Structure 1
Amino acid sequence: MQAADKGQATDLDGTDLRIGIVQARFNEKLTQQLATSCIDELVALGVSAKHIKHVTVPGALEVPIALNAMAESGRFDALVALGCIIRGETYHFELVANESGAGVTRIALDHELPIANAILTVENEEQAWARAEEKGRDAARVAVEMANLLEDLS
């Protein structure tokens, strides 16, 4: 049985990778925690701070357009989407969650570029705080692993 059949070890070496991060400012304290955790983890994985481009946008619905611009630039090996959507009393939660998620996925597929989607969709602020730090770190690991995997597959 080949290694691929048994399950491969993940490649989390971020050396020489270029990563773009788009952070929604809505629920900014929470999204800043996501960003801080993500950037800290990227650096811990070997991504040079000078190879991390971090931009902010007003909210989760604006994340895909910034991701698209980054993807079209050809300067990044992977991207990260950061945001926090907390359920309210109206249908707006579903609209924002569904449309931002669909936009992120479409850009990843259209550009064949990995995008770690760490736009939290939660019921309340307590749930968001319970997830923010770990989801930021997870997004960094996903971005690095998928950038390396796609490089190996090309």
Structure 2
Amino acid sequence: MQNARLRDDPAMLDASGLRIALVQARFNVHITDRLLQSCTQELRRLGAEPARVLSVPGALELPQALELLARGGELDALVALGCVIRGATYHFELVCDTSAAGVQQVALRHGIAVANGILTVEDEAQALERIDKGAECARAAVEMARLARTLRGERTA
């Protein structure tokens, strides 16, 4: 029943006082700029400004930037934003699998909330349909940061 309580608790989506960094991949920047905008707007709606916004070349560089940020120990959550569109080669699978695994490794290694907003799509139309993933990531980052604080016995708001 505790899980249901946390899910229904509006305080779990209160971003005030949280330090959340966003990392945007520039590859397919016309998509990732919109993901970043969606994420930032939702974070503000929830009560926080991004603590940092960084830009990296592509999805494969996202985990390294997240790792460097997580090592600092001063952030509550991280958000990775990118877009990988399938091409004609196996490179799509490599980039998708490697970036997703790297993002997850950072979260587990450092015990920090990391929201994975890397779109992996067949074409640009699918990417545009999923722009709200930025806002979803903002909510996931806030909720997981609050959950971590709750489980550590810290004040959540």
Give the alignment's TM-score, normalised by structure 2: 0.92
- Give the C-alpha shift of residue 68 in structure 1: 0.3
Residue identity in the other structure for 1:32:
D
**1:58-78: CA deviation from partner (whole Å, max 9, x where unpaired):** 000000000000000112100
The letter for the 1-side match of 2:139 is: R
Alpha-carbon distance between aligned partners in 2 of 1:53 and 1:110, rounded to the nearest angstrom: 21
Q: Can you give the 5+ residue segments of structure 1 that lack an aligned partner in the other structure?
A: none
Over residues 9-55 of structure 1, what are the superposed CA-to-partner deviations in whole Å (9 max), with x where a residue is unaligned?
141000100001110000001000000010110011001x2x52100
Cα distance between partner residues in 1 of 2:54 and 2:3 = 39
Q: Residue 122 and residue 7 in structure 1: after superposition, are their counterparts in 2 closer, same or farther (change >3 A)?
A: same
Q: Deviations over 1:107-141 (max 9, x none)?
A: 10000001000000000000000101x10100000
Shift in Å at residue 6 of structure 1? Answer: 4.4
Q: Counterpart in 1 of 2:140?
A: 142
SS of residue in 1 equivalent to 2:18 = coil
Report sequence identity in percent.
Answer: 52
- Name the SS for the 2:52 alignment partner: strand
Structure 2 residue 118 is the aligned partner of structure 1 residue 119: yes
> Which residue pairs with 1:31 in the alignment?
32
CA–CA separation in structure 1 for the residues paired with 2:85 and 2:29: 12
Alignment of 1:93-132 (within 5 A): 93-132=92-131
Report the count of equivalent residues.
149
1:6/1:14 Cα in 2 relative to 1: closer, same or farther (>3 Å)? closer
Aligned equivalent of 1:43: 44
Partner of 1:89: 88
Q: In the aligned structure 2, how far is the partner of 1:5 from the partner of 1:107?
A: 24
Letter in 2 for 1:57: V
CA RMSD of aligned residues (A): 1.1
Q: Secondary structure at the match of 1:121?
A: strand
Which structure 2 residue ranges, 5 or more long, are not aligned?
A: 153-157
Q: What CA distance in whole angstroms lies between the structure 1 residues aligned with 2:92 and 2:32?
A: 17
Question: 1:139 and 1:75 mapped to 2: Cα distance?
Answer: 20
TM-score by length of 1: 0.94
